[in-house]
């Protein structure tokens, strides 16, 4: 059972299995060179210190009749090695400062992308074009539980990667929605904390197309290991076409709100939304993981209190892991998932069967705005 896993690593031979990634950007390559320089200086010091130590341990063994000398200080020696240590540190600090100044630059980018960390997924928004989307883990729970074989990109794949153009200065504006996350793409040497109430910046300029995989690196709760980052860099023309399509789709999505939805349409859409966004905590069967994640199946709110149901989806629950979905998702998504959870499992036959439509969500928003 262990064997296929143990020998699978050659699949990723383009990445080193034991050293820092060189990466694809100028900054990541400078950082790699700096890392290796500091590493080799440390190795050099280590070789000198450990050689003297182990040679002394070997040469002055009592079992070989060594007699201890009687000295316990030497001022010039002590001054000498203090000065030597200082010189070595300056030797390290100069290139470190140069690379830091190169990497640290918060000027505006040609393209500015707002990255928001959520428990437990990333939201990307292209600020110039006002389109955005969530990026969720695509690895199935069955793979995680070991019920089916693990795929090549186990835990490193998402349903929708962030797409960026090559040879373009891109600025990331990074923030958090709930707890602190951290957005890391090793190939760009970009790692920046996503902190609620703060907007941090980072930038990159990727010279070649490719798919670059990263991770969340600040403990953010139960699914910390399950919110990878995937960035796809494409040529500028392809990127422009991609954005144009995104804008069209977003427009179509907005029109959907005014459409008259049937129960079946809402159920179908709600089921897929639930599977992507809700089932990680509330579970596929709606049984939740009490007491941290309450059950939806048989919940009084899902059975008979549609007003509170809408409110929870829109505002979240203070002091719990339940986030406010109102700002992040369309009216259609919110309405369909509420309708779905009121009909699914045993709720359909035991509850009031209320169908919540996108218009109800719009009405709710209008009331709150007053």
Partner 1 sequence: MSTVVETHDHGHHGPAKGLSRWLFTTNHKDIGTLYLWFSFIMLFIGGSMAMVIRAELFQPGLQIVQPEFFNQMTTNHGLIMVFGVIMPAFVGLANWMLPMQIGAPDMALPRLNNLSFWLLPMAFGILISTLFMPEGGPNFGWTFYAPLSTTYAPSTVNFFIFSVHIMGVSSILGSINIITTIFNMRAPGMTLMKMPLFVWSWLITAYLLIAVMPVLAGVVTMMLMDINFGTSFFNAAGGGDPVLFQHVFWFFGHPEVYIMILPAFGIVSHIIETFSRKPIFGYSSMVYAMASIAILSFVVWAHHMFTVGMPLAGELFFMYSTMLIAIPTGVKVFNWVATMFRGSISFETPMLFSIAFVALFTIGGFSGIMLAIVPADFQYHDTYFVVAHFHYVLVPGALFGIIAGAYYWLPKWTGNMYDETLGKLHFWLTFISVNVTFFPMHFVGLAGMPRRYPDYALQFADFNALISVGAFVFGLTQLLFLFIVIKAIKSGKKAKPEVWEGAGDLGLEWTLSSPPPYHSFTVQPQLK
CB of 316 to partner 1, least distance (A): 11
Closer to partner 1 by CB, 220 or 356: give it.
220
Residue 289 and residue 280: Cα distance in Å, rounded? Answer: 10
320, 160 contact by CB (below 8 A): no
Question: By CB under 8 A, what part of segment 11-30 binds partner 1?
Answer: 11-12, 15-21, 27, 30
Which residue in this structure is represented by tokens 């001022």?
A: 75
Give which of 177, 232, 228, 215 is closest to 199, Cα–Cα: 177
Closer to partner 1 by CB, 52 or 307: give it.
52
CB of 44 to partner 1, least distance (A): 10
Binder of partner 1 out of 40, 47, 49, 285 (CB under 8 A): 49
138, 158 contact by CB (below 8 A): yes
Closer to partner 1 by CB, 201 or 257: give it.
201
Show the tokens assigned to 282.
């509330």
Residue 41 and residue 19: Cα distance in Å, rounded? Answer: 16
194, 180 contact by CB (below 8 A): yes
State CA 290 to chain mean position distance: 26
CB of 101 to partner 1, least distance (A): 7
CB of 17 to partner 1, least distance (A): 5
User: Per CB under 8 A, does 224 bind partner 1?
Assistant: yes
Closer to partner 1 by CB, 1 or 370: give it.
1
Residue 118 and residue 114: Cα distance in Å, rounded? Answer: 13
Binder of partner 1 out of 128, 140, 207, 219 (CB under 8 A): 219
Binding region for partner 1 (CB under 8 A) out of 126-134, 284-292, 303-311, 332-340? 284-292
Question: By CB under 8 A, what part of segment 316-345 binds partner 1?
Answer: 318-321
Closer to partner 1 by CB, 182 or 347: give it.
182
The dihedral over CA atoms of 297, 298, 302, 308, expressed in degrees to the nearest 10, equals -120
Binder of partner 1 out of 29, 168, 200, 279 (CB under 8 A): 200
Which residue in this structure is represented by tokens 């296929």?
A: 4
Closer to partner 1 by CB, 121 or 269: give it.
121
């Amino acid at each position: 059972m262990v064997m296929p896993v143990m020998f699978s690593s050659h699949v990723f031979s383009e990445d080193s299995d034991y050293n820092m990634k060189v990466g694809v950007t100028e900054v990541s390559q400078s950082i790699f060179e700096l890392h290796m320089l500091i590493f080799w200086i440390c190795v050099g010091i280590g070789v000198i210190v450990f050689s003297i130590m182990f040679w002394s341990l070997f040469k002055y063994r009592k079992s070989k009749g060594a007699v201890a000398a009687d000295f316990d200080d030497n001022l010039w020696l002590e001054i000498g090695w203090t000065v030597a240590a200082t010189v070595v540190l300056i030797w390290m600090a100069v290139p470190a400062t140069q690379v830091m100044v190169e990497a640290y630059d918060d000027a505006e980018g040609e393209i500015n992308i707002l990255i928001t960390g959520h428990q437990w997924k990333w939201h990307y928004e292209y600020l110039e074009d006002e389109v955005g989307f969530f990026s969720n883990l695509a690895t199935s729970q069955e793979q995680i539980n070991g019920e089916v074989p693990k795929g090549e990109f186990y835990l490193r794949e998402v349903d929708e990667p962030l797409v960026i153009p090559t040879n373009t200065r891109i600025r990331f504006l990074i923030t958090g929605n709930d707890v602190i996350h951290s957005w890391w793409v090793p190939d760009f040497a970009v790692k920046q904390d996503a902190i609620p109430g703060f907007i941090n910046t980072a930038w990159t300029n990727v010279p070649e197309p490719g798919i670059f995989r990263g991770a969340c690196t600040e403990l953010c709760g139960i699914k910390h290991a399950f919110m990878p980052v995937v960035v796809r860099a494409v040529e500028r023309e392809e990127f422009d076409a991609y954005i144009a399509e995104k804008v069209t789709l977003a427009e179509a999505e907005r029109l959907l709100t005014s459409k008259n939805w049937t129960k079946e349409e809402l159920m179908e859409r709600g089921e897929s939304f639930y599977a992507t966004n809700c089932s990680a905590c509330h579970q596929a069967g709606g049984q939740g993981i009490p007491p941290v994640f309450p059950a939806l199946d048989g919940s009084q709110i899902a059975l008979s209190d549609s007003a509170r149901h809408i409110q929870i989806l829109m505002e979240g629950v203070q002091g719990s892991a339940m986030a406010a979905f109102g700002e992040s998702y369309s009216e259609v998504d919110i309405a369909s998932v509420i309708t779905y959870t009121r009909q699914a499992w045993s709720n359909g036959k035991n509850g009031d069967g209320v169908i919540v439509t996108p218009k109800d969500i719009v009405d709710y928003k209008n009331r709150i705005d007053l």
